[in-house]
Amino acid sequence: MINSTIAKRTLGVNFNASGHAEIFLWVPKAGNVAIRIERGEDIPLSKKARGYWHTVTDQLQPGMLYRVVIDGQSFPDIYSLSQPSGVHGASMTIKLNDHRWTDEHWNNLPLEEYLLYELHTGTYTAEGTFAGIEQRLDHLKALGITAIELMPVAQFPGTRNWGYDGVFPFAVQESYGGAAALQQLVNSCHHKGLAVVLDVVYNHVGPEGNYLSQYGPYFTDKYKTPWGDAINFDDAGCDEVRRFFIENALMWLRDFHIDALRLDAVHAIKDFSPKHILKELKEQVNLLMQATGQTHYLIIECDLNDHRYIDPLNAQGLGMDAQWNDEFHHALRVTAGEKKEGYYTDFDPISSLKESFEHAYVYHGQYSAQREKTFGTDPAENLGRQFVVFSQNHDQVGNRMLGERSSQLFSFEMQKLMAATVIISPFLPMLFMGEEYSESNPFLYFVSHTDPDLVEAVRKGRKAEFAAFHHGEDARDPQAEQTFHQSKLQWNKLEQEPYQTMFSYYQALISLRKTHPALGSTDRKALKVDFDDNKKTMTIIRQHDNKSVYCMLNFSAEQQSVSVPVKGRFRPLFNSASDQWNGPGSSTEDIETGSSLILQPESILILEEHV
């Protein structure tokens, strides 16, 4: 027997096989609860065990607007699947299983084959919709990525937002196209052979339009987070709160055919229950996979450097499949020339990058001066496919006061070198939208709140939050519509130089990783790293089936002399300094060891043994 919460959505308004609306709401402290249909009578609900309210009715049909009346006060439905008039307006009923799926032959990819591409729906295209993304899927296929990662799509205030201010976890953002358009996008991705990862936020709920506390104890003052009181995962009433978020996760996987979830900032989830909410979520996802035969992954953002989060359940871990590795990013950026300020102060050029290649975490038990404590564990037994690495992402770009991408901070050659460093790693590479052709527009922080006091608080908060990085620069107004439009990708750049060359460069790099076993392997143990701190050079040896590939990296602004560490004859597989990639030019002839190689400034040369 499949658990009802596994087989179908049970919370909120859902439609049964007879077409009747089954309504199931948790409002534990209420004396009366009803559904108020727009231009209709109230439908009373009956109180059930543990504070739930329930009824079955034929008065509420798909596509109708309604509100929930709690002791005489009406609110939008926190379980709503659609908010056509925004976060303060009436909710609308949706029949989730009306979509006609045609992806029955789709099988999720093995995690080690994920080549991720993070995008923000509102700024990815001029349309700013799921349909707009659909029109660009051939571009992503041509690039060679295998999985798109959507920033959060749960309903947020207004039409412009990163998505982390979502307040209706079950509703799909109306300005993006709503639930049906998201289902259509996922269906199309699967037909193109692309997996879909969805970013979800279970560590906080946005400030505007947050009606959860009107329903029950969704928050607890036992713990504080950067967003205020923590979500109640272990205090009185937590069982139903946990159910709320677990049902949400299962809905995306089951009813929207999402392949993997990326869980935002799980270090901010406060839970001292005997069974952590992430562990319970993993168990429920496992049950779903058993029931459907589909494969799903849970990928987390976590800055604790604690491998227990990604250890399997049978090893007393929380069972998450993978995590973002920000420390790889920090080490790479400092190596590329980023100033050691803010959270970069704990990272050193070259040596920190070597630590990340070898240990995933840079801090895996050493003393951290920034944190003033010994920090991190060594994930020695965790596989390379459990770490997602990148040279930029929405946070690392957008949390700069001016939202500069790498294209505005580094030379063309350094951009190519940083991209290659990510793609040759034994981890899962992720690109941020537009990076593949050196998009020059910034990616800024933007919102469209309706509360003037909240808008002003956001403005002041943005200026203060990253003061350590910027000195005297003017912040872009997050509320201004221009800030949002300035963050959109400029697709016409792809037809121009040097953007076209950069795109071809990324294509070639990704193709090389996908076709060369040593570079495509996520075996962290078949890896050797050497470096020269003075020259700012690094040699990374990737191995597979007794065959080795030698990646020679030069992060300095000058030519450097290096040697291949073994005897033999070698041929270049890839050279970022090649004329083909608008580089300074370099020899592509076979190489005999015993003589030094000259690496061009800010370049990578990849060699393989020539038999």
DSSP state of 284: H
Residues 15-22 have a mean pLDDT of: 95
In the chain, which residues fall in CATH 2.60.40.10?
Answer: 4-97
Question: What are the tens digits of pLDDT across the range 363-384?
Answer: 999 999 999 999 999 999 999 9
What's the pLDDT score for residue 52? 98
Please state, in angstroms and as integers, the Cα–Cα distance from residue 449 to each residue in 256, 275, 319, 443, following that order: 28, 37, 37, 19
Q: Provide the pLDDT for residue 474.
A: 64
Six token digits for residue 376? 């991190």
Q: What pLDDT digit, counting tens, does each position of 248-292 carry?
A: 999 999 999 999 999 999 999 999 999 999 999 999 999 999 999
pLDDT at 566 over 50: yes
| Poorest-pLDDT segment among 47-61, 264-278, 544-558, 565-579 | 565-579
Would the pLDDT of 73 be above 80? yes
Question: In 3D, which of 343, 267, 344 has the Cα closest to residue 302?
Answer: 267
Which residues, other chains included, contact 356 with Cβ-Cβ below 8 Å and sequence gap of 6+?
325, 327, 328, 331, 332, 362, 389
Assign a CATH topology to domain 522-609: Immunoglobulin-like (2.60.40)
Residue 1, pLDDT score: 33
Can you tell me the mean pLDDT for 335-357? 95
pLDDT at res. 558: 97
Measured distance CA(43)–CA(61) in Å, rounded: 13
pLDDT at 470 over 70: no
> 161: Cβ–Cβ under 8 A, 6 or more apart, which residues?
122, 446, 447, 448
pLDDT in tens, 193-227: 999 999 999 999 999 999 999 999 999 999 998 88
Hey, how many other C-beta atoms are within 10 angstroms of the C-beta on 213? 12
- Note the pLDDT of residue 263: 98
pLDDT above 70 coverage of the chain, percent: 96
Q: Per-residue pLDDT averaged across 95-103, rounded?
A: 95
Q: Give the pLDDT of residue 3.
A: 63
Residue 611 has pLDDT above 70, yes or no: no
> CA 607, CA 565: separation in Å to the nearest integer?
12
Q: pLDDT digit string (tens) for 412-428?
A: 999 999 999 999 999 99
pLDDT exceeds cutoff 90 at 451: no
**Residue 466 confidence (pLDDT):** 60
If one counts every other C-beta atom within 10 angstroms of the C-beta of residue 158, the result is 18
Dihedral over Cα of 441, 443, 449, 453: its sign:
negative
Check residues 27 and 400 and name the one with the higher pLDDT: 27
Q: Give residue 564's pLDDT.
A: 85
Q: Catalogue the active-site residues.
A: 264, 301
Average pLDDT, rounded, for the chain: 94
Provide the pLDDT for residue 2.
Answer: 47
Q: Report cis status (omega within 30 of 0) of the bond before 498.
A: yes
pLDDT of 116-161, one tens digit each?
999 999 999 999 999 999 999 999 999 999 999 999 999 999 999 9
Percent of the residues in the chain that have a pLDDT greater than 90, as a whole number: 88
Residues of the chain with CATH 2.60.40.1180: 522-609
The answer to whether the CB of 64 falls within 8 A of the CB of 37 is: yes
pTM for the whole thing? 0.96
Task: Check whether 590 has a pLDDT greater than 70.
Answer: no
Nearest to 67 by CA among 79, 55, 51: 79
pLDDT at 587: 59
Per-residue pLDDT tens digits for 509-525: 999 999 999 999 999 99
Give the lowest-confidence range in 254-263, 432-441, 539-548.
Answer: 539-548
- What is the domain class of 4-97 according to CATH? mainly beta
Query: Residue 59 pLDDT more than 50?
Result: yes
Residue 595: pLDDT over 70: no
pLDDT beyond 50 at 405: yes
Split at pLDDT 50, 70, 90, the class of 596 is: confident
**Angstrom distance (rounded) from CA 598 to CA 326:** 32
